[in-house]
């Protein structure tokens, strides 16, 4: 897998002021990924910091979804994927042979593009994670369910119908339920792959507000095709194009004074 | 001047054919209804015949006797007696053996194919399994009689030449493809997004299978079990050849016993004259067979509705 020679040195990203005190959660080093012959990610180098929202933007097919799925190794479910380089999560390379992928995914939650609740009751959806990780005590489970649903700002809407099927909820509620499902196992990082693309504007707003709250306790990495969304909720923004990171900086800088012409063209809507 | 073809004109032309179109549109539903009625009418016909002849049978034999007596001697000249219990025990026992083979093997095959096998393995294995379903039952029958029974007798000396165990096992093998194929379809149609949701929570593949995929597919899986059981209850050839014709009320699978279906074969191919009580007993047994299958299907419908996880 590591047969690729690294001919080009990737420019070191400039350190910005508030990085200093925040520890690095995810550090991606020279990551390359292929779907068969298709070189989908090219020499990605990205540090991501604790208690920040990092947005990944870029046009369709730029590799942003592939990248976020690589962070919890869900990308390996696709056939014929090969990867080189490293991703350090809390200083450990997640591609190490001895690294347990289940452990990684227990620490790193993921919210998908389309809400994907299980066809179970609201309660069982939230309790699923804790249960597979060995929590059986009903009282504890009840507490976890309430806490997680409150954390995802959906408790008041569902508290009277916890035993009803999750498919009876609206799309926006289902997505917040999926966020609550992640919170139930108290992850460290939340990965969100275009979490509002299937939602109406009102639900989108709710999820965005939730993300801002969750930032206090979690590190969040969010893929979005919506640039206003990235500008509204993120601290850092990475701009992807054709599988490469074109620019990575503080969100205000990216959206006011980007240093790369292509970033400027994209965020001003000239393409993409 | 070049003649231009207007699309509007073409559409107008087509409109002239509308009368014919409307006629066809009106006739088609009647035609389809008539064809669809055939199967319904056939069912009604069969059930009413069964009911009528069964009614005639119960004029000769009391219904209580039929369900409580333990002796089945339909062709005895001295003292004929009729009881469904020996046939019922044979049917239930052999079907039970068959399902003990078919359910675990069929379900694990389905789990393997749907959740673990690579695309290439699935492509190679599925047709092979389906070949099993294409073997004529008479072949299974003599396979049970000439191969499996002698083999089993090496280990179980008490096993009779005709018995319940061997046809039960072979019938189970015959039903594996049915259970495997239908369960696999049910599991395969569980959306990928659900598996991803569970995997992303740190679930292992087995946990995803047991706690997400199987619960979501349970109604299809139960349906496959029920079809398997119905198939076992209705199976005729294997038991006619390999389980014998002793009408014993026994639960010992090493003994020779007769199922309801095998009884019908024996009596229809034997010398029960039309109009005799033995002749009418066929209908009573057939009606019981129909009734049990019906109850089974209704029960399965209830179970799968109850545990259904709609998605």
3-state secondary structure A81-93: EEEEEEEEECCEE
Residue A199 carries which DSSP code? S
Note down pLDDT in tens along chain B; length 311 residues. Answer: 566 778 888 787 777 777 788 888 899 999 999 999 999 999 999 999 999 999 999 998 888 888 888 888 887 777 888 999 999 999 999 999 999 999 999 999 999 999 999 889 999 998 888 888 889 999 999 999 999 999 999 999 998 989 999 999 999 999 999 999 999 999 999 999 999 999 999 999 999 999 999 999 998 899 899 989 999 999 999 999 999 888 888 888 899 999 999 999 988 887 777 778 888 899 999 999 999 888 888 888 887 787 776 66
Q: What is the pTM of this model?
A: 0.81
- State the nearest Cα–Cα gap between A52 and chain B, in angstroms: 21
Mutate to test the interface with A, among B192, B201, B203, B310 (most CBs of A within 10 A): B201
Mutate to test the interface with B, among A104, A108, A118 (most CBs of B within 10 A): A118
Whole-angstrom distance, CA of residue B142 vs CA of residue A264: 79
Contact B198 A79 (CB under 8 A): no
List chain A residues with CB under 8 Å of B200.
72, 74, 105, 109-110, 112, 182
A77 Cβ under 8 Å from any chain B Cβ: yes
User: What does the pLDDT average to over A74-102?
Assistant: 93
Whole-complex ipTM: 0.85
Residue A23 in 3-state DSSP?
A: coil
Residue of chain B whose alpha carbon sits nearest to that of A121: B309
pLDDT in the model for residue B78:
79
The answer to whether residue A18 scores a pLDDT higher than 80 is no
Whole-angstrom distance, CA of residue B90 vs CA of residue B310: 38
B199 Cβ under 8 Å from any chain A Cβ: yes
User: Do residues B250 and B257 touch, judged by C-beta distance below 8 A?
Assistant: yes
Question: What is the distance between the terminal CA atoms of chain A, rounded to a whole angstrom?
Answer: 32
A128 Cβ under 8 Å from any chain B Cβ: yes
Pick from B199, B200, B309: CB nearest A119: B309
Contact B310 A182 (CB under 8 A): no
User: What does the pLDDT average to over A116-134?
Assistant: 94
Question: What is the distance between the terminal CA atoms of chain B, rounded to a whole angstrom?
Answer: 62
Indicate the average pLDDT of chain A: 89
- State the nearest Cα–Cα gap between B109 and chain A, in angstroms: 21
- State the nearest Cα–Cα gap between A59 and chain B, in angstroms: 23
Residue of chain B whose alpha carbon sits nearest to that of A112: B197
Whole-angstrom distance, CA of residue B90 vs CA of residue B251: 8
User: What does the pLDDT average to over A13-38?
Assistant: 77
Q: State the CB neighbour count (10 A cutoff) for residue A264.
A: 16
pLDDT in the model for residue A131:
94
Q: How far is CA A39 from CA A35, A93, A94, A271, in A?
A: 7, 22, 21, 22
Domain segments of chain A as ranges:
17-267
**Structural class in CATH, domain A17-267:** alpha beta
Residue with tokens 């700002």: A153
> Nearest to residue B228, comparing CAs of B296, B304, B139?
B296
pLDDT in the model for residue A14:
45
pLDDT in the model for residue B309:
67
> Nearest to residue B91, comparing CAs of B286, B304, B278?
B286
Whole-angstrom distance, CA of residue B24 vs CA of residue B7: 25
pLDDT in the model for residue B267:
87
pLDDT in the model for residue A15:
47
Residue with tokens 């005590």: A137
pLDDT in the model for residue B310:
67
pLDDT in the model for residue A13:
45
Give the domains, in start order, of chain B with CATH numbers.
85-306 (1.10.3720.10)
User: Do residues B224 and B106 touch, judged by C-beta distance below 8 A?
Assistant: yes
Tokens coding A115: 């809400």
The four Cα atoms A256, A262, A266, A270 give a dihedral, to 10 degrees, of 110
Whole-angstrom distance, CA of residue B138 vs CA of residue B240: 9
pLDDT in the model for residue B3:
67
The answer to whether residue A266 scores a pLDDT higher than 50 is yes
- Tell me how many degrees the CA angle B147-B148-B149 measures, rounded to the nearest 5: 100
User: Do residues B283 and B50 touch, judged by C-beta distance below 8 A?
Assistant: yes
Whole-angstrom distance, CA of residue A216 vs CA of residue B86: 73
The residues, ordered by sequence, that sit 6+ positions from B76 with a Cβ below 8 Å of its Cβ are: none
- State the nearest Cα–Cα gap between B233 and chain A, in angstroms: 34
Q: How far is CA B91 from CA A17, A88, B67, B103, B262, in A?
A: 81, 63, 15, 17, 9
Name the pLDDT band for A16 (thresholds 50, 70, 90).
Answer: very low
The answer to whether residue A5 scores a pLDDT higher than 80 is no
Residue A59 carries which DSSP code? S
- State the nearest Cα–Cα gap between A80 and chain B, in angstroms: 12
Tokens coding B230: 């119905």
Q: How many helices (H) and strands (E) does chain A have?
A: 10, 10
A45 Cβ under 8 Å from any chain B Cβ: no
The answer to whether residue A17 scores a pLDDT higher than 60 is no
User: Do residues B296 and B230 touch, judged by C-beta distance below 8 A?
Assistant: yes
Pick from A79, A132, A167: CB nearest B211: A132
């Amino acid at each position: 897998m590591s047969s690729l020679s690294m001919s080009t040195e990737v420019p070191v990203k400039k350190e910005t002021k508030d990085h200093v005190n925040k520890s690095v959660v995810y550090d991606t080093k020279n990551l390359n990924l292929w779907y068969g012959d298709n070189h989908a990610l090219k020499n990605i180098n990205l540090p991501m910091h604790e208690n920040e929202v990092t947005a990944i933007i870029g046009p369709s097919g730029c590799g942003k979804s592939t990248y976020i799925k690589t962070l919890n190794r869900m990308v390996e479910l696709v056939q014929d994927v090969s990867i080189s380089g490293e991703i350090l999560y809390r200083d450990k390379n997640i591609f190490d042979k001895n690294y347990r992928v289940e452990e990684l995914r227990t620490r790193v939650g993921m919210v998908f593009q389309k809400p994907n609740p299980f066809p179970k009751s609201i309660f069982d959806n939230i309790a699923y994670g804790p249960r597979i990780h060995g929590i059986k005590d009903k009282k504890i489970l009840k507490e976890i369910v309430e806490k997680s649903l409150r954390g995802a700002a959906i408790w008041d809407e569902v508290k009277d119908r916890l035993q009803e099927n999750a498919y009876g909820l609206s799309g926006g509620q289902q997505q917040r339920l999926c966020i609550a499902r992640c919170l139930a196992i108290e992850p460290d990082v939340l990965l969100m792959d275009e979490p509002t693309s299937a939602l109406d504007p009102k639900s989108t707003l709710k999820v965005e507000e939730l993300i801002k709250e969750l930032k206090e306790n979690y590190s969040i990495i969010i893929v979005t095709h919506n640039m206003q969304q990235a500008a509204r909720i993120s601290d850092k923004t990475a701009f992807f194009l054709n599988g490469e990171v074109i620019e990575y900086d503080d969100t205000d800088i990216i959206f006011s004074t980007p240093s790369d012409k292509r970033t400027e063209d994209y965020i001003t809507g000239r393409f993409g | 001047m070049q003649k231009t073809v207007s699309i509007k004109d073409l559409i107008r032309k087509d409109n002239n054919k509308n009368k014919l179109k409307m006629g066809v549109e009106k006739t088609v539903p009647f035609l389809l209804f008539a064809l669809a009625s055939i199967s319904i009418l056939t069912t009604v016909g069969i059930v009413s015949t069964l009911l009528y002849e069964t009614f005639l049978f119960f004029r000769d034999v009391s219904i209580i006797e039929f369900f409580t007596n333990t002796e089945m001697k339909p062709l005895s000249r001295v003292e004929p007696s009729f009881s469904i219990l020996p046939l019922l025990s044979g049917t239930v026992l052999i079907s039970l053996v068959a399902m003990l083979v078919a359910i675990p093997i069929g379900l694990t095959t389905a789990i393997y194919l749907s959740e673990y096998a690579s695309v290439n393995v699935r492509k190679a294995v599925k047709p092979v399994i389906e070949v099993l379903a294409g073997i004529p039952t008479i072949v299974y029958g003599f396979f049970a009689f000439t191969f499996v029974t002698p083999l089993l007798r090496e280990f179980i000396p008490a096993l009779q030449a005709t018995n319940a165990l061997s046809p039960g096992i072979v019938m189970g093998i015959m039903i594996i493809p049915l259970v495997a194929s239908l369960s696999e379809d049910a599991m395969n149609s569980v959306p990928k997004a659900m598996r991803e949701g569970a995997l992303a929570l740190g679930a292992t593949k087995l946990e995803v299978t047991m706690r997400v995929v199987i619960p979501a597919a349970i109604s299809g899986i139960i349906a496959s079990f029920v079809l398997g059981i119905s198939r076992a209850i209705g199976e005729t050839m294997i038991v006619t050849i390999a389980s014998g014709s002793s009408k014993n009320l026994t639960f010992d699978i090493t003994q020779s016993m007769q199922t309801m279906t095998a009884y019908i074969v024996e009596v229809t191919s034997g010398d029960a004259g039309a109009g005799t009580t033995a002749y009418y007993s066929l209908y009573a047994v057939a009606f019981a067979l129909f009734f049990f299958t019906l109850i089974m299907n209704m029960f399965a419908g209830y179970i799968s509705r109850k545990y259904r996880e709609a998605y």
